[in-house]
Amino acid sequence: MKRWVFLCVLAAMLVLPFTGLAGDLPPNPIKDAKVGEWVLYQMMGPMQQKQTVTAVHKDAVTVKIDIIMNGKVVSTVSNKIRFDQKGPGAPPQGSPKFKMGKATVQVKGHSLDCITTEVKAQGKTIVTYISPDIPVFGVVQTNMNGQPLMKLLDWGK
């Protein structure tokens, strides 16, 4: 179980903003967040992750991340995310292999127009799908080497 929690926390870190990259990345959707907005993701294996905006500050928001297994919360962390940080999908500073694209993803009967970001590092390819229609970080799905790390199940306000 500890391995699953570690993997889920690792996947959560992939969608948390990276700093220090300039360029044409999509704006950080967290800037428009409102208290109570939430997203629910299916993680690898039996885990789910729920991200909920719990506070909006002058220059940041606080996001609570619950890791859920078999319907029970097994881990909770809260992170304060500054508005000046880069949004999800941003590669670490200095990443030489980065590209953006567009895709449409179907979730719960909705067609979501997404910006895709693809990062290649350490033999891994990570693709993140980001939609302005999804609250919190706007992440619809994150894949590593073609396999889903996290997939949007539901969202609300």
Query: pLDDT tens for residues 1-57?
Result: 544 444 444 444 444 433 333 345 566 778 889 999 999 999 988 999 999 999 999
Q: Tokens at residue 114, please? A: 């997404």
Q: What whole-number distance in Å separates Cα of residue 76 and Cα of residue 44? A: 17
Average of per-residue pLDDT across 149-153: 95
Is the domain spanning 2-156 CATH 2.50.20? The answer is yes
For 50-77, how does the pLDDT look when each residue is reduced to its tens digit (9 = 90+)? 999 999 999 999 999 999 999 999 999 9
Long-range contacts of 49-56 (CB under 8 A, 24+ apart): 49/8, 49/11, 49/12, 49/150, 51/12, 51/136, 51/137, 52/136, 53/135, 53/136, 54/78
Within 10 A of 25 (CB to CB), how many other CB atoms are there? 20
**pTM score:** 0.79
Residue 26: predicted pLDDT: 61
Structure tokens at 148: 């889903």
Give the separation between CA 40 and CA 52, rounded to whole angstroms: 9
Where do the domains of the chain lie? Answer: 2-156
Measure the CA–CA gap between 7 and 1, rounded to whole angstroms: 10
Instruction: Band the pLDDT of 95: cuts 50, 70, 90.
Output: low
